[in-house]
Structure 1
């Protein structure tokens, strides 16, 4: 079926896909009630700025997601345990007392997921931050305060 230019623009506007919409969109996780409670507490403690970027939470609005710099840095709390954590060759990093597993994504920046916590917190960076894990330190105080260790 062919849609003329006017119909296509109307369809894009109805779907919220206008080219002027700068807000990022992410999939909201569906954690257990216990993990969701940790995530709600984490959401309240997250910083207003990370790596000089202002907070601009992605849509749809949720206590399980947060963002900075219109999608340059996105946090999702309560994600499933990544299968990559079973790989002995997976790489990790420590940022101010919080351990993160690193996953390099094709055509995107890195994804970091907390390890050994009662809720998994995932942070993705755009390609501009592909070689800079230092923004993770901005999340460490909030994660340490609100998401307990599994041990």
Structure 2
């Protein structure tokens, strides 16, 4: 993944077209009171501890959306606005992370792998933190993916709780 060759300021994310928004994996229950989010496979204990610390530091709102309860409840998952924005911490290393041609962005000191999802997956983007001791994935629905502030608070929380380094799982 080539994070060094493309470091965009946060305001550049607002230029992402809506057609390139991230599709959330989770499904929202009627009424938007909770989001169904599959936690990642059980990560190593040290990674789970980092994810629990991240879970406690996550903002109550992201892109103007309130934090939503996840089902099942887990320190490895979080959601905002039902399933509009979904976070999973402790995911396995994405295969595309090794591709030097993949694009990435830096937001508030955190490098993110930027993946465009195909139309069959609903289109959009998935962001995965890199160069940290735990991989964190953020998926955003089309409606909210153009909000440049979406990664700001999440990056601040990741930076404060997940040390820089190379995850070994």
Q: TM-score, normalised by structure 2?
A: 0.74
- Shift of residue 88, structure 1, vs aligned partner: 1.3
Match for residue 80 of structure 1?
92
Structure 1 contact 46–142 (Cα < 8 Å) conserved: yes
CA distance in structure 1 between the partners assigned to 2:78 and 2:142 by the alignment? 18
Match for residue 38 of structure 2?
27
Runs of 4+ in 1 over 4 A off after TM superposition: none
Q: Which moved more, 1:131-140 or 1:106-115?
A: 131-140
- Shift of residue 133, structure 1, vs aligned partner: 4.5
Structure possessing the higher radius of gyration over alpha carbons: 1
Q: Which has the higher contact order (CA 8 A, sep 6+)?
A: 2
Match of 1:55 among 67, 75, 79: 67
Pair 1:139 & 2:139 matched? no
- Shift of residue 21, structure 1, vs aligned partner: 5.7
Structure 1 contact 95–134 (Cα < 8 Å) conserved: no
Structure 2 contact 63–147 (Cα < 8 Å) conserved: no
Q: Which moved more, 1:138-147 or 1:123-132?
A: 123-132
Q: TM-score, normalised by structure 1?
A: 0.82
- Shift of residue 142, structure 1, vs aligned partner: 1.2
Question: Structure 1, residues 20-74: CA drift from partner, whole Å, max 9, x if none?
Answer: 3632211101211110000000000000001100000321100110000001000
- Shift of residue 79, structure 1, vs aligned partner: 0.3
CA distance in structure 2 between the partners assigned to 1:100 and 1:20 by the alignment? 31
